């Protein structure tokens, strides 16, 4: 159901130029307004709890808490809010991690301004919106699996990024190599590893490697 009054949007992106550009776009519209902005997932969660936006325009890969985890936390604490992902990444893991977290839409950065505006209005009205490239990936994936039972991803309790880190651990990579490969800080890698150990209830790296390799991770 369409919200009464202007659609209130919380902008979440770790790049100030991107936040400023989205703010300028939204402020040019008569029926949409900026509820606030945030530079990372933790700040986004706090802002959402304070401002109760109709739509959160969410980047996925940010320092600290990523957009997938932030989406899950926001929808749990502010259930009336809808999340529209706007990110550089259109890989299957990112798309489906966002969908599993409860995102109502997914656009890739580079989308035209009118496409972003339509998506904000549609998500606020309760619709699910996916950009053309993402929609094609979804269709291709389901077409390729037609007639076969989908294979469940190992360790569903992990986020897509945590599973990626675990896969690299199982492949024998150390924290600095993982950080370089994923283009994140070593501290973020350590945070992901701590979360992995807690969720898998393992005591150390070697035990995590055994669990991961048993599940088929760590391959070439």
Select from 3.40.50.1450, 1.10.10.10, 3.30.540.10, 3.50.50.60 the CATH code of 160-213.
1.10.10.10
User: What stretch(es) of the chain map to CATH 3.40.50.2300?
Assistant: 7-142
Give the tens place of pLDDT for each residue, 19-35.
999 999 999 999 999 99
Radius of gyration in angstroms for the set of CA atoms belonging to the chain, rounded to a whole number: 18
Residue 157: half-sphere exposure toward Cβ, Cα within 13 Å: 7
Give the tens place of pLDDT for each residue, 180-208.
888 888 899 999 999 899 888 888 888 88
Helix H or strand E encompassing 206: helix 205-214
What does the pLDDT read at residue 64? 84
Helix H or strand E encompassing 177: helix 175-182
What does the pLDDT read at residue 93? 74
Q: Do residues 146 and 152 touch, judged by C-beta distance below 8 A?
A: no
CA distance 13 to 15: 6
CA distance 26 to 44: 18
User: What stretch(es) of the chain map to CATH 1.10.10.10?
Assistant: 160-213
Superfamily grouping for domain 7-142 = Response regulator (3.40.50.2300)
Return the DSSP state at 148: S
Q: Please identify every stretch of the chain with a pLDDT value under 70, giving residue numbers as ranges.
A: 1-4, 92, 131-153, 220
Greatest CA separation for the chain: 57
Return the DSSP state at 145: T
């Amino acid at each position: 159901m369409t919200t009464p009054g202007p659609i209130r949007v919380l902008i979440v992106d770790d790049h100030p130029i991107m936040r400023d550009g989205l703010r300028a776009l939204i402020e040019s519209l008569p029926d949409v307004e900026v509820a606030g902005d945030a530079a990372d997932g933790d700040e986004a969660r706090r802002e959402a709890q304070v401002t109760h936006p109709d739509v959160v325009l969410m980047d996925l890969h940010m320092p600290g808490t990523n957009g997938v985890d932030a989406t899950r936390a926001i929808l749990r604490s502010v259930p009336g809010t809808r999340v529209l992902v706007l990110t550089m990444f259109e890989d299957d893991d990112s798309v489906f991690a966002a969908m599993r977290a409860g995102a109502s839409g997914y656009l890739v950065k580079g989308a035209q301004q009118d496409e972003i505006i339509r998506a904000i209005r549609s998500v606020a009205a309760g619709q699910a919106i996916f950009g053309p490239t993402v929609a094609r990936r979804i269709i291709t994936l389901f077409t390729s699996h037609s007639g076969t039972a989908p294979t469940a991803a190992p360790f569903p309790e992990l986020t897509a990024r945590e599973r990626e880190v675990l896969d690299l651990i199982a492949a024998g990579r150390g924290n600095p190599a993982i950080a370089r490969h994923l283009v994140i800080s070593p501290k973020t890698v350590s945070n992901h590893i701590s979360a992995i150990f807690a969720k898998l209830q393992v005591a150390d790296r070697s035990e995590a490697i055994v669990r991961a390799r048993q599940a088929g991770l760590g391959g070439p």
